[in-house]
Amino acid sequence: MRGSSLFGRWYMTLAGLALCLPLAAPFASASSDSDMREALDAARQKDWSTIDQAAIEDHELAGYVAYHRLRDRLPTASASEVQAFIDEHSDSPLSRWMRNQAITAYGKAQRYDRVLAISDVVPDDTTRRCHYYRALLERDPRQATEGGRQLWLSAHSQPSACDSLFQRLMANGTIDDALIWERMMLAWQAGEAGLMSYLERQLGSGWQTGIDAVERVQNDYTAITRVPTRIGPDGQGGGPLFAAAMYGFTRADTEAALEAWRKIARHVPVNDEQRQTIERDLAFYSMVRDVHNNRAWVDQVLPRLDDQELLTLRVREALANRHWRSVIDWIHRMPDEPRQEARWQYWLGRALEELGDPQTAETAYAAAAVERNFYGFAAADRLERPYSLNLERTSFNDAYRNEIADWPQVQRTEALMRIGEPGLANSEWFYAIEHASPQEARALADYAANRGWFVKMIQTTIQADLWDALDWRFPSAYRDQFLKWGRNNDVDPYLLMGIARRESAFNPRAASPAGARGLMQLMPGTATHVSRKLGIGDPGPTGLENPEINIRLGSAYISEMLERYRDNRLAATAAYNAGPGRVDRWLRNAPEEFDLFVESIPFSETRNYVQAVMAYRVIFESLANGGETQGVAMMTPRERDVSYSPSLLARQ
């Protein structure tokens, strides 16, 4: 029976994990929360007459009703009133929201003095940036002009809020025909035909040569070698035209595009940035499309481009062909920081080992093995060493924990959860993390752990860069269900936990844009298929938000994948992410060794997914052992030594 000899140890170590004992929620009277719930609903509807202000005056969330009152009075409310609200609620996202609402309202009403009175930094939203720079034109025209210029140079239509700013910049000559042409070329690259037509109508007659050249190249990319290089009255439009034309040509026919580029590269008036972009595109698509005739040019240009993504592609190409000397050469061309990563130190070790230099290979493996990831663990396996977890543990006494419970941000988070506002509660929590010191962030993570807030706890560690706080990053969430359904389906429960951690960060209500739902991010169609095989009712999308159901179906589905690939968790995990049909095809052309198989996965999402899940399961198992990695193995000997080829398929 699959995994039966190991399951007893998995069960015992998981059962030994320390449980997070939830703190009691801070007490609040039911009546005050009920009054606040009603008041907030009324405030959203602008039904001010029904709000009993006295009943909510001392409630932690009174500021939320005040926010809606003040927002409703914009733009007539004074800047001083808005600023006073911002100052009073500076420890809450209410301050940011109020500033944003006020900038939008004041800008729309053309009350630019008020925009500047409450804006101390450039807004991060395009609409508000347009209002801000329009307001700034009188006070700091240089900054406003540069900001407006950057907003103008967009390949897509901008919000109507930008119209006033752009009109002023056209009037003062900042946005001239050359800048209109440059934006038109950006729109061409983005396939924005409507915006192109609009911008073309703004150009003077001196640009007809350029307009004709665009039409000619649109009909035949090879015409790029025959169009004029001087575009526009001052000959300034050639660079943007050739950059846009090469963008489309490279994607349409990379080999022909390079042939054309080599003919015109010395003569076209592109600037250094445009030339870099054109050649980077050519190199990128030449490699991902495996254009053999372009390879010599790619190898010649890569050192000059000095681009990490391109160098990564080149190393992966060398690995696919087992050109071990090239692997070493191209890794050595990487900048120092990425070259020292476990991934590249591991591959240096593999290449050196293949070339008969085990001593230097061991040095590279040792450099990789200090890291806590797939390649760090694989390097440790090569050296037959325990894994490096670099585990950090922080503890707080009860007195400090009680103090944290009284922090206003925590009180508001608790209150919002009590009245059924989880979205606002998350906003309060993460605003607090954003403004917390490192020690305060740890204290908040500890609070979330003790309250059983798995999603908040994990996101806290991410937002606060608490990468070594593994007890918080990888909690024993839904442990009993993973144990139960892992046992019932004969699946490694740490693998299930690793998948759920990667898929949803243990958020049972997670939903992907594609429609996947719940802890293990099951597609409704997959859930229907698995439910029928199990002889149970289809849970539907909403039912997949139930952790028990989701884990049951997810564990049954990964069990199917394990059966398909002879208990191989690397292949099964890849299939869970990308689908078994793709994995079947990859195995037909796989380079046989496990590490080369993983590196050869063509989808970066799936490649990273497999590495993350396998590393996560090591962490979960190690934490179940009290943080001890002795005896923990990322892969079984069979998974390390088997041939990654069609022979891995149970049914051929």
In 3D space, the residue among 469, 467, 457 whose CA is nearest the CA of residue 433 turns out to be 457
Torsion sign, CA atoms 28, 31, 35, 40:
positive
Residue 508: count of CB within 10 angstroms of its CB: 22
| Cβ(483)–Cβ(15) below 8 Å | yes
Residue 424: count of CB within 10 angstroms of its CB: 20
Cβ-based neighbours of 165, under 8 Å, separated by 6 or more:
130, 133, 134, 137, 148, 151
Q: How would you classify residue 22: left for phi > 0, otherwise alpha for psi between -120 and 50, otherwise beta?
A: beta
Q: Distance (Å, rounded) from C-alpha 317 to C-alpha 219?
A: 34
Q: Distance (Å, rounded) from C-alpha 27 to C-alpha 457?
A: 22
Cβ-based neighbours of 64, under 8 Å, separated by 6 or more:
40, 43, 94, 424
In 3D space, the residue among 59, 66, 122 whose CA is nearest the CA of residue 94 turns out to be 66
Residue 49: count of CB within 10 angstroms of its CB: 6
| Cβ(440)–Cβ(403) below 8 Å | no
Place of tokens 């008020």: 114
Helix 569-578 and helix 580-588: axis angle, to 10°? Answer: 130
* Half-sphere exposure at residue 315, Cβ-oriented, CA atoms within 13 angstroms: 26
Q: Distance (Å, rounded) from C-alpha 614 to C-alpha 577?
A: 13
Here the tokens at position 207 are 């640009």
Pick the catalytic residue from 421, 428, 503, 560.
Answer: 503
Radius of gyration for the alpha carbons in the chain, expressed in angstroms and rounded:
30
Q: Distance (Å, rounded) from C-alpha 345 to C-alpha 364?
A: 5
Q: Distance (Å, rounded) from C-alpha 193 to C-alpha 133?
A: 28
Here the tokens at position 346 are 């591991």
Q: Distance (Å, rounded) from C-alpha 196 to C-alpha 186?
A: 9
Q: Is 632 helix (H, G, I), strand (E, B) or coil?
A: coil
Cβ-based neighbours of 105, under 8 Å, separated by 6 or more:
74, 75
Direct distance between the N- and C-terminal alpha carbons of the chain, in angstroms, rounded to an integer: 22
| Cβ(168)–Cβ(149) below 8 Å | no
Residue 212: count of CB within 10 angstroms of its CB: 13
Q: Is 449 helix (H, G, I), strand (E, B) or coil?
A: helix
Q: Is 522 helix (H, G, I), strand (E, B) or coil?
A: strand
Length of the chain equals 652
Q: Distance (Å, rounded) from C-alpha 481 to C-alpha 492?
A: 13
Distances (CA, A) of 94 to 64, 89, 231, 432, 459: 7, 6, 51, 12, 21
Kindly provide the b/e burial profile for residues 100-110, where b requires at least 16 CB atoms within 10 angstroms of the residue's own CB. Answer: bbbbbbbbeee
Active site residue 503: yes
Alpha helices in 291-339 (DSSP H): 295-305, 308-320, 324-332, 336-339
Q: Please give the positions annotated as active site.
A: 503
